[in-house]
Amino acid sequence: MSDRIYTCGSGLFSSCLADTMSAFVEYKVNVGGCVPESFLPVLKRFDRYLTGLPEPNARLDADTVLGFMESQDVKNSTAARQASVLRSLGQYMSSVPGISDIYMVPRLIKRKGKTFVPYVFSRDEIYALLDAAEHYQPKCRNKPTVNILNCMRCIMALLYCTGMRVSEASFLSVSDVDAEQGVIHINRAKNGNRRIVTMSCSLKAACSRYLDESKRHKLSGIYFFDSGSRANGGRVTRSCIYSYYRRFLSLAGIIHKGTGFGPRLHDLRVTFAVHSLRQLTEKNGDVNACLYYLSAYMGHKSLVETQGYLWLTSELFEGTCTRMEEYTSFITSIFDGKAGEAEDE
Residues 104-110, mean pLDDT to the nearest whole number:
61
Cα(328)–Cα(264) distance, integer angstroms: 28
- Among candidate residues 252, 286, 305, the one where a domain is terminated: 252
Considering the domain architecture, whether residues 67 and 15 belong to the same structural domain is answered as yes
Res. 296: pLDDT tops 90: no
Q: Are 132 and 248 in contact (CB under 8 A)?
A: yes
Considering the domain architecture, whether residues 36 and 90 belong to the same structural domain is answered as yes
DSSP assignment letter at 186: E
Residue 200 lies in domain: 123-252
Res. 316: pLDDT tops 60: no
Cα(130)–Cα(206) distance, integer angstroms: 11
Q: Give how far Cα 251 sits from Cα of 11, 137, 256, 263, Å.
A: 33, 10, 11, 14
User: Which of 154-158, 222-226, 290-294, 319-323 has the least mean pLDDT?
Assistant: 319-323
- Among candidate residues 201, 221, 252, the one where a domain is terminated: 252
Q: Determine the pLDDT at residue 51.
A: 81
Has residue 101 been placed in a domain? no
Q: Is the dihedral of CA 164, 2, 35, 48 positive or negative?
A: positive
Residues 285-299, mean pLDDT to the nearest whole number:
80
Res. 274: pLDDT tops 80: yes
If pLDDT is split at 50, 70 and 90, which confidence band does 115 have?
Answer: low
Has residue 107 been placed in a domain? no
Residue 147's CATH number: 1.10.443.10
At 35, which amino acid appears? V
Instruction: State the Rg of the chain over Cα.
Output: 23
Residues 280-299, mean pLDDT to the nearest whole number:
79
Cα(79)–Cα(69) distance, integer angstroms: 7
Has residue 214 been placed in a domain? yes
Phi, psi of 150 (to 5 degrees): -60, -45
Res. 337: pLDDT tops 60: no
**Residue 73 CB coordination number (10 Å):** 13
| Percent of the chain residues past pLDDT 70, beyond the cut | 77
Residue 263: cis peptide before it, omega within 30 degrees of 0: yes
Question: According to the per-residue pLDDT averaged within each range, which of 76-80, 155-159, 217-221, 297-301 is highest?
Answer: 155-159
Euclidean distance between the first and final Cα of the chain, in Å?
36
Res. 333: pLDDT tops 60: no
Res. 5: pLDDT tops 50: no
Q: Quick one: which of 127, 131, 117 has its CA closest to 309? A: 117
**Residue 236 CB coordination number (10 Å):** 26
Q: Determine the pLDDT at residue 49.
A: 84
Considering the domain architecture, whether residues 187 and 281 belong to the same structural domain is answered as no
Q: What is the DSSP string of 106-123?
A: PS----TT---------H
Considering the domain architecture, whether residues 241 and 149 belong to the same structural domain is answered as yes
Considering the domain architecture, whether residues 316 and 339 belong to the same structural domain is answered as yes
Q: Are 189 and 172 in contact (CB under 8 A)?
A: no
Res. 324: pLDDT tops 80: no
Has residue 292 been placed in a domain? yes
Residues 256-270, mean pLDDT to the nearest whole number:
83
At 62, which amino acid appears? A
pLDDT tens digits, residue range 41-92?
A: 899 888 888 887 766 677 788 778 877 887 776 777 788 888 888 888 888 8
Q: Determine the pLDDT at residue 141.
A: 56
H-only helix segments in 263-345? 267-284, 287-298, 303-307, 320-344
Considering the domain architecture, whether residues 132 and 242 belong to the same structural domain is answered as yes
Considering the domain architecture, whether residues 314 and 247 belong to the same structural domain is answered as no
Considering the domain architecture, whether residues 215 and 286 belong to the same structural domain is answered as no
Residues 152-156, mean pLDDT to the nearest whole number:
95
Considering the domain architecture, whether residues 244 and 150 belong to the same structural domain is answered as yes
Residue 320 three-state SS: helix
Q: Are 34 and 4 in contact (CB under 8 A)?
A: yes
Q: Are 224 and 174 in contact (CB under 8 A)?
A: yes
The residues with which 143 forms a beta bridge, in sequence order, are none
In this predicted model, which residue has the larger pLDDT, 340 or 191? 191
Considering the domain architecture, whether residues 172 and 275 belong to the same structural domain is answered as no
Cα(113)–Cα(97) distance, integer angstroms: 40
Domain count of the fold of the chain:
3
Has residue 259 been placed in a domain? no
Res. 300: pLDDT tops 50: yes
Has residue 114 been placed in a domain? no
pLDDT tens digits, residue range 167-203?
A: 899 999 999 999 999 999 998 887 777 899 999 999 9
Residues 314-341, mean pLDDT to the nearest whole number:
49
Beta strands in the chain (DSSP E): 4-5, 35-36, 177-178, 183-186, 195-198
Helix (H) and strand (E) counts for the chain? 13, 5
